[in-house]
Amino acid sequence: MSQLYDLRLRIEENIKSSGLDPMEMKGKIGLRSGKLLALISATTPDDPQAIAKLKLAAREILNLNL
Amino acid sequence: MKWNSIRTKVLAALLACLVVGVGGILAMMHYGFERNSQALAAESVLSAQKLFTILQAREISKMTAVSEALIANPQIRDALASKDRGRLLELTAPLYAQLKTQGITNWMFHTPEPDMRVLLRLHNPAKFGDQLNRFMDKEVTRTHAIVVGNELAKAGFALRILRPVYDANGAVIGYVELGEEFGQFIHAMQQQTGNDYGLLLSKSFLNREMWAESSAMWKRRDNWNDNPGFVVADRTTDSDAIIRFQGDLSSIQGQGQVLERYEEANSVFVRGIFPIRDASGKTVGAMFVIRNISEFYLAMQHTQRVLVLLTVVALALGMLLVLMLLNRLVFRRLERIICIATRVVGGDYQSEIRVSSNDEVGEFELLFEQFRCVFVNLLASVSDLQSGVEPPLEDAIPLEDAIKEKSMSCV
């Protein structure tokens, strides 16, 4: 499992537990990081730049440190 | 509040309009008040001058008529011809008491030229025998006709008529003079107009000692030292303090001039002045005019307050309306587009952007909806290529199904 996919799962888990609107939150993170979460799969190759952007977006939008 | 938002900028522009509007009204009202108070002062000076002229003409007519009756009396003529002061006083004293109540305060008989001395002063019988040598005296001896005009004596100013008295042979046997103190004019004017007046006399035509004597005689304060160039001979105000004039009386133009506006004890006044000339045409004094414009000032202030209030209310309502319209027509629709675009990126492929109007934002909504369809179709294509895409969590709409479904609706 790629690191990007692991990040996606953790973000989705956080959104679910927080009770926020999942579409809106994922949309904001997608727009902020430039990465569609729905297109990140277990086989998506890791890209350090994409990983950093996703972590930053999660921190800014969900206040989630990954 | 975002400082760089359109809402903030529009609000700031509307507030600026409000400030400019209120400022403009205040400036306009101030300008209007200045102009109107100046016009009121000019009108007060002009009307006072006209009224003064009318009153003078009326009093001259009255004194002329009285003098006609006097010189027609043979007993008075005989007493004057014989220079019998006692007889003259006996004949005229009862009449003087009556005339005095009608404003004729000065009454004199003069001997004929060449010396032309005062034979009798009805208003001061103990004083006689002096020569006055005034302009009017010279004129009446030169012309032997009635002379009228303002004459400034050493101690006061009066409107006078001076005429010769003839015997049966047509020879001049003396002169009779009647006069009215100027003070009564300003009180009559005050009663008619409601304005206040002050009579100023140039010191250069007065005698200091005689002014002190006349002040004592008329029971008025000796105000010689109050002003450098003139004295206040009479006034309708309670004190001299309100009569302030810095300048030379002889420099006042014939049509008068408006002085300054000033405020005192919650009242607003405008002042003006016009010259008073003697029989020879010299400017020997001036009439000071004071008009209370407090009522007008309060009315202007009330109008100003109403206008400012109306402007503030109108602009505040305008601001509210503009902001409501902007919110309804632009901001809420933009927020809706942003919300749907965000949700589409988040995986909600069901939401559509409805084109709510064919205005400018409506064109943007249409464009964005078309863009959304392209995006969903693109995702469907990508999804087809990525055979190993993991399904999203259970709360999300299944990606492939949703994309396929939506891509059909977008075709």
**What pLDDT score does B384 carry?**
65
Q: Measure the CA–CA gap between B393 and B398, rounded to whole angstroms.
A: 8
Q: Measure the CA–CA gap between B275 and B162, rounded to whole angstroms.
A: 23
Q: Are B237 and B264 in contact (CB under 8 A)?
A: no
Count structural domains, chain B. 2
Residue B405 has pLDDT above 70, yes or no: no
Residue B393 has pLDDT above 50, yes or no: no
Q: B116's torsion region: left (phi>0), alpha (psi -120 to 50) or beta? A: left
Residue B380 has pLDDT above 50, yes or no: yes
CA distances from B213 to B122, B206, B219 (A): 18, 12, 10
Q: Which of B344, B347, B390 sits opposite A41 (nearest CB)?
A: B390
User: Could you report the predicted ipTM of this complex, rounded to two decimals?
Assistant: 0.89
Residues from B in contact with A at Cβ < 8 Å: 339, 341-348, 379, 382, 386, 388-390, 392-393, 395-396, 399
Residue B101 lies inside a defined structural domain of this protein? yes
Six-digit token string for B205: 């035509």
| pLDDT (tens digit per residue) in B265-285 | 788 888 899 999 988 888 888
Determine the residue of chain B that is closest to A8 in CA distance.
B392
Residue B121 lies inside a defined structural domain of this protein? yes
Q: For residue B111, with 0-12 CB atoms within 10 Å meaning exposed, 13-18 middle and 19 or more buried, which class applies? A: buried
Residue B66 lies inside a defined structural domain of this protein? no
The pLDDT of B123-131, averaged and rounded, is 90
Q: Which pLDDT band, with edges at 50, 70 and 90, does B215 fall under?
A: confident
Beta bridge partners of B267: B264
Q: Which pLDDT band, with edges at 50, 70 and 90, does B336 fall under?
A: very high
Q: B-chain residues within 8 Å CB-CB of A29?
A: 346
Six-digit token string for B154: 């050493």
Q: Which pLDDT band, with edges at 50, 70 and 90, does B312 fall under?
A: confident
Residue B236 has pLDDT above 50, yes or no: yes
The pLDDT of B335-343, averaged and rounded, is 93
Residue B398 has pLDDT above 70, yes or no: no
Determine the residue of chain B that is closest to A17 in CA distance.
B395
Q: For residue B331, with 0-12 CB atoms within 10 Å meaning exposed, 13-18 middle and 19 or more buried, which class applies? A: middle
Contact criterion met (CB < 8 Å) for B386 and A24 = no
**What pLDDT score does A54 carry?**
93
| pLDDT (tens digit per residue) in B145-203 | 999 998 876 556 889 999 999 988 889 999 999 999 887 888 889 999 899 999 888 88
The pLDDT of B224-230, averaged and rounded, is 88
Residue B221 lies inside a defined structural domain of this protein? no
Q: B-chain residues within 8 Å CB-CB of A26?
A: 345-347, 396
Residue B188 lies inside a defined structural domain of this protein? no
| pLDDT (tens digit per residue) in A18-63 | 989 999 999 999 999 998 898 898 888 888 999 999 999 999 999 9
* Number of neighbours of residue B361 by Cβ within 10 angstroms: 19
Q: B-chain residues within 8 Å CB-CB of A14?
A: none
Look over chain B and give the mean of its residue pLDDT values, rounded to a whole number.
86
Residue B401 has pLDDT above 70, yes or no: no
Q: Measure the CA–CA gap between A24 and B326, rounded to whole angstroms.
A: 25
**What pLDDT score does B411 carry?**
45
Residue B374 lies inside a defined structural domain of this protein? yes
**What pLDDT score does B396 carry?**
46
Residue B100 lies inside a defined structural domain of this protein? yes
- CA torsion angle B62 B68 B73 B78 (round to 10): 120
Range of the domain at B152: 73-180
* B142: CATH: 3.30.450.20
Residue B409 has pLDDT above 70, yes or no: no
Phi, psi of B384 (to 5 degrees): -65, -35
